[in-house]
Amino acid sequence: MKTTEINKSALQTTGTLAPDGPVYMLNLLRYKEYADYNNAAGPSPCSGREVYMQRYVREFRRLADERGVRLLFLGSVGINLVAPDTEQWDDVALVEYPDFSTFRDIVDSIAYLEDAEPHRLAALEDWRLIATNKVAL
In tens, the pLDDT along 68-116 reads: 999 999 999 999 899 888 889 999 999 999 999 999 999 999 999 999 9
For residue range 8-49, list pLDDT tens digits in order.
Answer: 887 777 777 887 889 999 999 999 999 999 866 555 689 999
Q: Is the pLDDT of residue 135 over 90?
A: no
Predicted pLDDT of residue 43: 59
In a domain, 8, yes or no: no
State how many domains the chain has.
1
- CATH number for the domain that contains residue 96: 3.30.70.100
Report the amino acid identity of residue 24: Y
Supply the Cα-derived Rg of the chain in whole angstroms: 15
Strand ranges (E), 1-137: 23-31, 70-76, 91-97, 124-132
In a domain, 11, yes or no: no
For residues 118 and 17, the answer to whether their CB atoms sit within 8 Å is no
The Cα–Cα gap between 85 and 8 comes to 28
Q: How confident is the model at residue 63 (pLDDT cuts 50, 70, 90)?
A: very high
Predicted pLDDT of residue 127: 95
In a domain, 18, yes or no: no
In a domain, 15, yes or no: no
In a domain, 14, yes or no: no
In a domain, 69, yes or no: yes
Task: Tell me which residue range forms the domain holding 120.
Answer: 30-36+43-132
The Cα–Cα gap between 25 and 95 comes to 5
In a domain, 81, yes or no: yes
In a domain, 5, yes or no: no
